[in-house]
Amino acid sequence: MNTIYPVVWSNNKVLLIDQTSLPSQYTLVEISRYEDMAKAIKTMIVRGAPAIGVAAAYGMYLGAKDIQTKEREIFLKELDKVAEILRQTRPTAVNLFWAISRMLKTAYETIGTVEEIKQILLKTAQKIQEEDLKTCQAIGENSLPILPKQPAKLTILTHCNAGALATAGYGTALGVIRSVWAANRLNRVFADETRPRLQGAKLTAWECVQEKIPVTVISDNMAAHCMQKGLIDMVVVGADRIASNGDAANKIGTYGLAVIAKMHHVPFYVAAPLSTVDFSLETGDLIPIEERDPSELYQIGNTVIYPDGVDYYNPAFDVTPAHLITGIITEQKTVKPEELITLKSEFSYQSS
């Protein structure tokens, strides 16, 4: 049973697993101010689309609890400012914007004293967290009927970390893998290393080791070779934002993986909660792609690995076109990308 919870509410504070120091150190970072939560999201102490949604929801409560007024209007104005700071942290994962909107909507719609609104905001953050845990477990369950029938035990390739660390605690893509493992249908996981930040090698591999799920780490440029050799039965990845037409943004390198999966007739699935779908966007080219600091590319630890005088481009995500995706596994059911729109009514809180 998984016991990795990246965000924990405890004694009026949030405890975050510091994902920048795994796997060499397991440390918890205490967060009691919303500004520190914004920093933790930006610096990727907490990362992964649903996890930053949960973290931002608690960030909203931490900001709310420190607003020193009994006047509702002043309180809501100050809360808008907290929301804006949290929105500025990472642009691609829509769960962040969705969670902040849901918290704001709750505050605006609650009739009561400022103190009562604050208490309801804490409950809403906890609810977002609990819902995500259940949602990810449902995604895992929903993957079982769509698994390839052969071989009896599957080798599944995944990219980045879409595990417990990236969610409230079970995972989307790695949640699927957990469920396949529990159903005795898993041979092993192939984890792409995931340059430049190595979430696959550091985080996915760490999660698998915690649960004794057999895992083989490969560098990203080995995936095509592994598929050509017939080593991979299925690819499952997470997503940061999915447009209405099924185009899916995920960690840089996902698109290339989808291309080679298609080439080798390997089924390519995206596992994501409906909170990752941005129904306001028609296609994936409207998804904002975060660019991160070039030091992620040119530096390994404290060692600079590139010569002086080169330029850098460091997009953190890419968009996989819907036609390369076999299916999207959600908490409701698995759909073809073009059917995603039919789930719109199942999901009530949209980002604004």
Q: Which parts of this chain interact with ligand MRU (CB under 6 A)? A: 47-50, 93, 160, 162, 166-167, 172, 199, 238-240, 250-251, 316
Q: How many other C-beta atoms can be found within 10 angstroms of the C-beta atom of residue 107?
A: 23
Kindly state the smallest distance separating residue 49's Cβ from ligand MRU, in Å: 4
Q: How many whole angstroms separate alpha carbon 259 and alpha carbon 165?
A: 27
Q: How many whole angstroms separate alpha carbon 103 and alpha carbon 120?
A: 9
Kindly state the smallest distance separating residue 328's Cβ from ligand MRU, in Å: 13
- Count of helix runs (H) and strand runs (E) in the chain: 11, 16
Q: Which is nearer to ligand MRU, 107 or 139 (CB)?
A: 139
Question: Mapping DSSP to helix (H, G, I), strand (E, B) and coil, where does residue 49 land?
Answer: helix
| Positions marked catalytic | 240
Q: Which is nearer to ligand MRU, 240 or 278 (CB)?
A: 240
Q: How many whole angstroms separate alpha carbon 258 and alpha carbon 323?
A: 10
Residue nearest to ligand MRU (CB): 238
Kindly state the smallest distance separating residue 202's Cβ from ligand MRU, in Å: 10
Report CA dihedral (172, 173, 177, 179) to the nearest 10 degrees: 30
Kindly state the smallest distance separating residue 316's Cβ from ligand MRU, in Å: 5
Q: Which is nearer to ligand MRU, 244 or 320 (CB)?
A: 320
Kindly state the smallest distance separating residue 66's Cβ from ligand MRU, in Å: 27
Q: How many whole angstroms separate alpha carbon 185 and alpha carbon 142?
A: 14
DSSP 8-state class, residue 285:
G
* Stated length of the chain: 352
Q: Are 22 and 93 in contact (CB under 8 A)?
A: no
Q: Which is nearer to ligand MRU, 172 or 244 (CB)?
A: 172
**What strand order describes the sheet that includes 248-251?**
277-278, 241-243, 248-251, 317-320
